[in-house]
Structure 1
Amino acid sequence: MTQDLPLGAPLPGWSPPPRPDRDSLAGWYCRLEPLSRDHAAELHAAQLLDGSIWTYLPYGPFPDEAALADWIARDASGADPLFFAVREAVSGRALGVLSYLRIAPGAGSIEIGHVNFSAPLQRRPAATEAVTLLIGRAFALGYRRLEWKCNALNRASRRAAERYGLSYEGVFRQAEVVKGRNRDTAWFAAIDAEWPALKAAYETWLDPANFDAGGRQIVPLSELTRPILAARDPALASGPEAGLASRDGRPDNPGEHHQEDQG
């Protein structure tokens, strides 16, 4: 006797997307450049301003520019993870990094992680735009799923994920050991069906008309993306929120490594 079991929806015409390349991306407020040793001096100077950006990362801080340059050459110059430096338009300086990782064309899945924004970049529109540029490129290439993972204790990163319109998918308990400590990992994602609405939300928020003469946002991004969420993070529904809001509506985001394992 044959039993008919449920199957996923067929995907007629779908084919694996290409891997992202190392081309630069430019927006209103920042430019993403393939990370290289040439960025080490500016990045190290900016990173010295706030040591807390390394709290949830499995590497760093680096004692000097040379050590950071060596790390870039050794660990951050490959195709996966694919690192970018964030060059802010106003200052012209490289002030942060982020990457694609866990790139899986066969599944149509890709992750954004290794987000490490220095103090001068935090709470700036350029920080938000940097993430949305990578999200946009991923879906433009044909990826079906965009992931964001973080230490479950990193409340700021969890708020940032939800603010970008990435839906909560749960927590993997005891997922990693980072710097000798347990890490539970919170998962968030967006899928391709949600991209048109997310794209419209990002464009509305990033439009210079959404900022007043003092640079303050008029409509918060979270207000634009909230209706798109398939599920909200229950951890954000309780506890104090004071101090997490910022000039551009973006939560404070100490550097985060949204990855399960580099091995």
Structure 2
Amino acid sequence: MLGPKVRFKKSKLPSKKNLKGKYVILEPLKINKHSRDLFNNFLKDKRNLIWKYLPYGPFKTYVSFKKWLKSFCLNKDPFFYAVYSYKLKQYCGMASYLRITPEHGTIEVGHINYSTILQNTVEGTEVMYLMMKNAFDALGNRRYEWKCNNLNNASKSAAKRLGFRFEGIFRQMFVFKGRNRDSAWFSIVDKEWKKLKKGYINFLKSSNFDKKNKQLKKLKLS
């Protein structure tokens, strides 16, 4: 027995276009434009918790941070964005596409690093919506992936909140910073996206937030 036939050619690669929303704009990373804001905002996490499950960082100096950006973040895969908040008027986070496989129509979101001022905000949710929307609607992918350290409960909870379905654990997948990492895998496929999209649109409506930008109703995707 074989799987159903699929009319599919190829998905597109991410382009240098900005992804614009109501609350944020995602700009393909430009070191001279984005690095200073990002470094300063990442420094606000005095306990360095944002770097705990990432395979790099923390960076103690602007020079070392900028050097890392140049060596790792200017490739086509991973393809990095800097997050600009209209409200805060500064760049306050990063995220990327990776494991980009056009022949199969799969793409992963990862290297997500939100400074403390972006965490638990409508801006942070919109970042994920814009990247998801672009992956399916503009690039034409069939599958959108999320993986994280299986010990990272916050990331696993975020994936579920954002509509990803848990698929399983790849044991001993990586060694990062001298420690074993088992990876938890999640995904969204194209047939699920239409329903999820409606939930995001309803959540992100201006009428769902008060004058202090606090949500009135939670993100409802099921």
Shorter-chain TM-score above 0.5: yes
Alignment deviations for residues 106-132 of structure 1 (CA, whole Å, 9 cap, x no partner):
111000000000001111111111111
Q: What is residue 216 of structure 2 aligned with on the other side? A: 218
Structure 1 residue 40: Cα displacement:
1.1
**TM-score, normalised relative to structure 2:** 0.96
Structure 2 counterpart of 1:156, which letter?
A
3-state SS of the aligned residue for 1:150?
A: strand
Matched, 1:151 2:149: yes
Q: What is residue 56 of structure 1 aligned with on the other side? A: 53
Structure 2's unaligned 5+ residue stretches are none
1:36–1:72: 8 Å Cα contact kept in structure 2? no
Matched, 1:86 2:80: no
Matched, 1:207 2:201: no
Q: What is residue 41 of structure 2 aligned with on the other side? A: 46
3-state SS of the aligned residue for 1:95?
A: strand
Structure 2 counterpart of 1:126, which letter?
E
Q: What is residue 8 of structure 1 aligned with on the other side? A: 3
Structure 1's unaligned 5+ residue stretches are 1-5, 228-263
State the aligned residue count.
218
CA–CA separation in structure 2 for the residues paired with 1:212 and 1:37: 35
Runs of 4+ in 1 over 3 A off after TM superposition: none
Q: What is residue 196 of structure 2 aligned with on the other side? A: 198
Q: Larger Rg: 1 or 2? A: 1
Matched ranges for 1:45-194 at <5 A? 45-50=40-45, 51-140=48-137, 141-194=139-192
CA–CA separation in structure 2 for the residues paired with 1:122 and 1:49: 12
3-state SS of the aligned residue for 2:145?
A: strand
Structure 1 residue 92: Cα displacement:
1.1
Structure 1 counterpart of 2:42, which letter?
Q
3-state SS of the aligned residue for 1:10?
A: coil
CA–CA separation in structure 1 for the residues paired with 2:89 and 2:75: 25
CA–CA separation in structure 2 for the residues paired with 1:30 and 1:60: 25
Percent identical across equivalent pairs? 43
Matched, 1:21 2:15: yes
Answer 1 or 2: higher relative contact order, Cα 8 Å, separation at least 6: 1
CA–CA separation in structure 1 for the residues paired with 2:72 and 2:174: 19
Structure 1 counterpart of 2:3, which letter?
G
